[in-house]
Chains A and B, each alone.
Chain A
Amino acid sequence: MGQPKGLVSENAYTILNEVEEKRVSLIAALQKIQARYRYLPETAMRQVAARLRVPVSQVYHVATFYSAFSLKPKGRHIVNVCLGTACHVKGAGLILDRFKRELKVDEGDTTEDGQFTLQAVRCIGCCSIAPAVMIDTETHGYVRQDKVADIIKRYRESKEK
């Protein structure tokens, strides 16, 4: 799921107004907030609950159930290192280690500068180009350990998302 273009300039109220007017479903509403803020701030969850007239307990239930939502701010770029069977066989573990070292974060964490969140995923359906790494919406195939630093650099330099 990419970040929908144009959303970035929207502020919380535009999103919330739309949510209320169009009676967007709860999940869709949370997706919008997640895309805009890269996490679900508490106030936003409470607002969504009020606007959609659903209990906060239910919003929190949904917000904590799906891994697409995060209660902690995620990085500007999401690095998904595939650890599926094919990638695993092709040494994805080492690739993940390299990302950890280069980014100085653990799996699931976000770099201090808020640029990258490193995640491990199980199969992104790109077994033929294993080991694969997905960064935001782009897929990188045949990733080699010695290419990891370069890849990171490219994203770090690209200011626009």
Chain B
Amino acid sequence: MSHVEWQGQAKFTIDGKEVVGYKGETILEVARREGINIPTLCYHEALEPYAVCRLCLVEVTVGKRTRLVTSCIYEVAPGIEVKTSTERVTRNRKAVLELLLARAPDAPVIRKLAAEYGIEKSRYPLIKNDNCILCGLCVRACREIVGADAIGFIDRGTERRVGPPIERQSERCIGCGTCVYICPTAAISLKDVSKSMPGVHKHPYDYEAPECSICGEMNLESESKAGER
């Protein structure tokens, strides 16, 4: 890669189209602004990019060298050539989708994306069908937007999963449902656990409290019982 120092604007091409990006912008950001479609799963404009789903792969040519990069974190530079749908890109995206399909075969987003790339069934065996593709959107939203840090990743490898610390209800969960909203595969759901939520809003205890399937009961039941007395 040529690390030429530059400031301000960068002129470069995406699929042959001349585009302009600003210092610090990623290929994905510029592409979206230009209306060029790049599929993503772990990206959300309100969150720091995380680059784990690998779906946003594109080909970038810098000087003589062409390689695959994740467009959600690759910062633009003057003169780079980006291609979003070469044979190589498609082949690799397909591979990614097949893996995702093996993990969450029932998730509509995954099925739809896979179908777009002509994949109906994954070659890989289903290890566990829990819909969670470990994109980390929920974890990052909980940290970066809500500021609660109520959930995180647990374990490694095939055991990796999302959950509350120490595998118990998190006392930091405020029951906001941001994680549920942001999850692309509907792997998290809210559930009513008690009729009141004193711990959260410090109100008379008369409204429904949701339970997060990931972070547990939100510590509400015991408190509400104590409050009712």
> Which A positions have Cβ atoms within 8 angstroms of B?
42, 45-46, 55-61, 64-65
In-complex Cβ contact of B152 among A45, A46, A57 (8 A): A57
Question: Are the C-beta atoms of B156 and A60 separated by less than 8 Å?
Answer: no
Q: Does B165 sit at the interface, judged by CB under 8 A?
A: yes
Q: Does B172 sit at the interface, judged by CB under 8 A?
A: yes
Shortest CB distance B137–A (Å)? 15
- Assess A57 versus B155: contact at CB under 8 Å? Given A42-B166, A45-B166: no
B152 nearest CB neighbor, chain A only: A57
Q: A46-B166, A55-B152 are in contact. List 14 more A-B contacts (CB 8 A).
A: A55-B172, A56-B149, A57-B149, A57-B151, A57-B152, A57-B164, A57-B170, A57-B172, A59-B165, A60-B154, A60-B166, A64-B155, A64-B156, A65-B153
Shortest CB distance B153–A (Å)? 5
Question: Are the C-beta atoms of A58 and B166 separated by less than 8 Å?
Answer: no
Residues of B within 8 Å of A59, CB to CB, are 165
Q: Does B143 sit at the interface, judged by CB under 8 A?
A: yes
Question: Are the C-beta atoms of B149 and A61 separated by less than 8 Å?
Answer: no
| Prevailing SS type, chain A contact patch | helix
Interface residues in B, total, Cβ within 8 A: 15
Q: How distant is the Cα of A58 from the Cα of B170 in the complex, in angstroms?
A: 12
Shortest CB distance B148–A (Å)? 8
Residue of B149, B152, B172 most packed against chain A (CB within 10 A): B152
Shortest CB distance B188–A (Å)? 15
Q: How distant is the Cα of A146 from the Cα of B170 in the complex, in angstroms?
A: 51
Shortest CB distance A37–B (Å)? 16
26 of the cross-chain contacts (CB-CB < 8 Å) are A42-B166, A45-B165, A46-B166, A55-B149, A55-B152, A55-B165, A55-B172, A56-B149, A56-B165, A56-B166, A56-B172, A57-B139, A57-B149, A57-B151, A57-B152, A57-B164, A58-B152, A59-B165, A60-B152, A60-B165, A64-B154, A64-B155, A64-B156, A65-B153, A65-B155, A65-B156
Q: How distant is the Cα of A45 from the Cα of B172 in the complex, in angstroms?
A: 16
Residues of A within 8 Å of B156, CB to CB, are 64-65
Q: How distant is the Cα of A60 from the Cα of B156 in the complex, in angstroms?
A: 12
In-complex Cβ contact of A61 among B150, B152, B170, B172 (8 A): B152
Question: Are the C-beta atoms of A61 and B154 separated by less than 8 Å?
Answer: yes
B170 nearest CB neighbor, chain A only: A57
Shortest CB distance B158–A (Å)? 13
Residue of B150, B154, B166, B172 most packed against chain A (CB within 10 A): B166
B156 nearest CB neighbor, chain A only: A65
Q: 8 Å CB contacts to A: which residues of B105-155? A: 139, 143, 149-155
Shortest CB distance B144–A (Å)? 12
Residues of A within 8 Å of B143, CB to CB, are 55
Shortest CB distance A79–B (Å)? 22
Q: How distant is the Cα of A48 from the Cα of B180 in the complex, in angstroms?
A: 29
Q: How distant is the Cα of A59 from the Cα of B149 in the complex, in angstroms?
A: 11
Residues of B within 8 Å of A65, CB to CB, are 153, 155-156
Q: How distant is the Cα of A57 from the Cα of B153 in the complex, in angstroms?
A: 8
Residues of B within 8 Å of A57, CB to CB, are 139, 149-152, 164-165, 170, 172
Residues of A within 8 Å of B152, CB to CB, are 55, 57-58, 60-61
Shortest CB distance A66–B (Å)? 8
A57 nearest CB neighbor, chain B only: B152
Residues of B within 8 Å of A42, CB to CB, are 166
Residues of A within 8 Å of B172, CB to CB, are 55-57
Q: How distant is the Cα of A59 from the Cα of B150 in the complex, in angstroms?
A: 12
Residues of B within 8 Å of A45, CB to CB, are 165-166
Residues of B within 8 Å of A60, CB to CB, are 152, 154, 165-166
